[in-house]
Amino acid sequence: RHHLLPPPSGPSSRPRATMSRRAVIVSTARTGLTKSFRSGFNNTHGAVMQGHAIKHAIEKAGISPGDVEDVIIGCGFPEGATGMNIARNAALWAGCPVTTSGTTINRFCSSGLQAVASAAHSVMVDGVDVAIGGGVESISMVSPVASKTTVTEEKLMSEFPALWMPMIETADIVSARYGISREAQDVYSVESQRRTAAAQEAGLFKDEIVPMKATMLVTDKETGETSHKTVLADRDECNRPGTTLEALAGMNPVRSKVDPSAFITAGNASQLSDGASACVVMSEAEASRRGLQPLGAFKGFAVAGCAPDEMGIGPVFAVPRLLARHGLKVDDIDLWELNEAFAVVPLYSMQQLGIDHAKTNVNGGSIAIGHPFGMTGSRMVGHALLEGKRRGAKSAVVTMCIGGGMGAAGLFEIF
């Protein structure tokens, strides 16, 4: 009997109406993003990165770890160092009691956004008072293993072979199929680097990044010997402020050997990186009861499917679905976070949807900041709310393409 937990008590156990509740985001915290394989987090377990983000999101919210009922974490590759239900493990690492639950969800590059939406849904529908939505990715520790253990399926491989197609190849397909030139992609990428550099110089990421010490694995290129080095990850380190159009134009496409007309280079694609993010989501009534000032409110979420070989056009279908359900038009949205998986993705989406680039990725995106697959959506939510408040914006949409042929979009009100 000593293993039995006492029945729940306090605010979380009170009866409450569930269908008219509003979900608000009261805090956000994340790690800086480090370059995969060769930098700060290349030997850091996912539970450590995500636990760090959760711990500090809780502290920023001014709540106790035990107030959190559920932790929902998105992960693009939830296996290896980000496996074993990384959400539950990270919650415990962060200091949450065993009474706090956790679940890991996967929708590839929208996993972090999906997690925030799912946390909000639990508040709005299930009567949860406090939840956490976030995302984590350790490309350094997981990708080398995952790439060797992929198993295809005969029927799907016959009918939908692009389900296993490398994302770079799908981006080349979108570029050629819809006439998005290499030059346009390079021009866009230079601007992304410029915007991120300006934002870093102005300290615009400091209120979301929580510095974290890590033990980095260092490999001697000549001898192959490894050693360990203590580092402090206190900023996003992928940005290349001096990037020029001439430099990008001189880069060979990644797939040039198999396709001489390919478009995608290391300069116009997102950068592989490691990191984690967390957002504390709460019912508006609970936030008011606690005297908290939320960053904004979750308004809605939509997904849409498309052909797997052109997964990069997913936002073109998800965004109209989201806006239509809320009686809105593109011009009604003040701020857009449109994931820069590849430059062709925001370029085509802005072109087709009529989105103003001046409102989109105003402080740069994944091309310059980095893209830990399952983490990015949560990072974009937190940044949209913080930057929106600085700009006096009232609404934001966070959207991205998704491997396998999908798009996702979330609508947020900014306080």
Neighbours of 18 (CB within 10 A): 13
**Residue 228 designated active-site:** no
3-state helix, strand, coil in the chain (%, to 5): 40, 20, 40
Q: How far lies 383's CA from each of 21, 29, 156, 345, in Å?
A: 24, 10, 38, 20
Cβ neighbours of residue 226 closer than 8 Å, sequence gap 6 or more: 217, 218, 219, 220
Q: Could you confirm whether 75 is annotated as catalytic?
A: no
Among candidate residues 396, 399, 370, 400, the one with its CA nearest the CA of residue 385? 396
What sign does the dihedral 329-303-371-376 (CA atoms) show?
positive
Q: Are 63 and 130 in contact (CB under 8 A)?
A: yes
Q: Does the active-site annotation cover 401?
A: yes
State both tokens at 316. Answer: 């073109």
Neighbouring residues of 259: CB distance < 8 A, sequence distance ≥ 6: 172, 253
Q: Which of 45, 52, 56, 371 is catalytic?
A: 371
Say if CB 195 and CB 3 are below 8 A apart: no
Residue type, 127: G
Which tokens in the block code for residue 323?
């806006």
Calpha distance 274→402 (Å, rounded): 18
d(CA 296, CA 259): 46
> What's the DSSP call for residue 324?
H
* Among 238, 279, 306, 401, the one annotated catalytic: 401
Specify the residue for token string 């939830």. Answer: 78
Catalytic residue among 109, 238, 279, 306: 109
Residue positions annotated with a catalytic role: 109, 371, 401
